[in-house]
Amino acid sequence: MPHFLAPHITLPPMPFTQEGYSFVYEAKQCNDSTQSLILVRYKDSEFFLRKAWRESKNNAILKCEKSTKTQPTGIMKNALKILCAYQKNIISHNLNNNTPRQNLQSPYLKSMEFFLDFAKPCLIEIGFGSGRHLLHLAQSNPHLICVGIEIHTPSIEQILRQVQLLDLKNLYIINGDARIFLEILPSHIAQGIYVHFPVPWNKKHHRRIFSPKFIQESLRVLDNGGMLALRSDDEVYFQDVLSLALQEKNISLEIHKNQQQAITSKYEARWTKQQKNIYDLKIFHTHKHTNNEKNVKNTQKTFYFDKILRKNLDNYKSFPHKKIANDWFLHIDNLYCAGDIYVLALCFGDFNQPQSKFLQIAFCDNISTRYIGHNPIPTQAAIKAHKYLMQILTQE
């Protein structure tokens, strides 16, 4: 993450604007004023920088706040450079230009929210890695939108370059966790969902892509006759997924061993060289949806903000900071203040795919409440956590 270190960090009075950047406020952590968040706006982006005194190292750091990260990274680096120039002494920094990650920008790189009301038939590949299979999918299905989702940023950079070189118009890429993505997709839009050589995580099942919930969400997202395809070299993983699939209704299954495919992915090439067996499990969705089912929305997609009472925030130390329910949780990690503006640092949602967000509440002329950057991804778990937070903040 871009940052600089200094013996002390001095900030100019805020708000101020320089080189197109607005430095809006510095909000101090309510129980430790050596930690603060600085809200910065640049064109359409909005993010926090974090200032922290590091007692053990006897120095201060100013860095990008990871959960409000904006692309390209150069936007945040420039904001740090502006503030770096106000310091008398600097110990070190990593603000030089031209790291490849600064260019993660393409019309084909989409946010998850882009797909909330997506209505076109599509094919989805989860964890596409080197992207060989996904590119093949897009090239051989020009009439369909293909969507690839990955958590590994270098793989995203690599495939976006290929999309440009091959001039593909039907391939969208998402940088994020596929388990969250499936949950927010509308029902019955996919003809195929491909998961090729996922990490088996045989000792940490909670990290696996396949779970009962994942299979159920995939079946919801698949259209009649659509297919969820697992290809794996790991027999334990394959058997586990088969057992999960057998618990579902309205499916038919197809199994193959060492079946050749038109394209060999990077991982497949590695395992074939080691003469490992390759297993295919294809789960077909056989249920015919009625029109009523087709119109059912997946989740409530909006976060409503009720009238928050300032006294509840002033009572921060005594209100519940942790709530753990069956299928969701909420952690209120910290409160920051800048005059009439309060910022809550939150972590919430599903246990295996938590989201970190900042909620800003401004008691100026009117009370205005919003999440910094974008709203959270509207999973069921995130919406439940949000509702609970509203209850705490609005109670008389």
Interface residues with ligand SAM (CB under 6 A) are 126-130, 149-152, 155, 177-179, 196-199, 209, 265-268
Nearer to ligand SAM, 52 or 174 (CB): 174
Distance CA 385, CA 370 (A): 15
Around 254, how many Cα atoms within 13 Å sit in the side-chain half-sphere? 11
Instruction: In angstroms, give the least distance from the CB of 207 to ligand SAM.
Output: 8
Nearer to ligand SAM, 152 or 294 (CB): 152
Nearer to ligand SAM, 23 or 197 (CB): 197
Distance CA 54, CA 227 (A): 52
Residue closest to 385 by CA, chosen among 309, 318, 311, 320 = 320
Distance CA 259, CA 272 (A): 11
Nearer to ligand SAM, 168 or 178 (CB): 178
Instruction: In angstroms, give the least distance from the CB of 189 to ligand SAM.
Output: 18
Instruction: In angstroms, give the least distance from the CB of 392 to ligand SAM.
Output: 30
Around 313, how many Cα atoms within 13 Å sit in the side-chain half-sphere? 26
Instruction: In angstroms, give the least distance from the CB of 30 to ligand SAM.
Output: 35
Nearer to ligand SAM, 75 or 230 (CB): 230
Nearer to ligand SAM, 155 or 334 (CB): 155
Instruction: In angstroms, give the least distance from the CB of 155 to ligand SAM.
Output: 5
Nearer to ligand SAM, 24 or 176 (CB): 176
Distance CA 159, CA 198 (A): 18
Given phi > 0 = left and psi -120 to 50 = alpha, else beta, which region is 164?
alpha
CA angle 222, 249, 187 (to 5 degrees): 25
Instruction: In angstroms, give the least distance from the CB of 150 to ligand SAM.
Output: 5
Tokens representing 264 are 């060999």
Distance CA 252, CA 26 (A): 57
Nearer to ligand SAM, 29 or 218 (CB): 218
Q: Are the CB atoms for 282 and 227 separated by under 8 Å?
A: yes
Instruction: In angstroms, give the least distance from the CB of 108 to ligand SAM.
Output: 17
Instruction: In angstroms, give the least distance from the CB of 94 to ligand SAM.
Output: 24
β-sheet bridge partners, residue 360: 343, 370
Q: DSSP letter string over 159-170?
A: HHHHHHHTT-SS
β-sheet bridge partners, residue 363: 367
CA angle 298, 135, 268 (to 5 degrees): 95
Nearer to ligand SAM, 266 or 322 (CB): 266
Around 194, how many Cα atoms within 13 Å sit in the side-chain half-sphere? 21
Residue with tokens 């009625």: 290
Peptide bond into 72 cis (omega under 30): yes
DSSP 184: H
Instruction: In angstroms, give the least distance from the CB of 241 to ligand SAM.
Output: 15
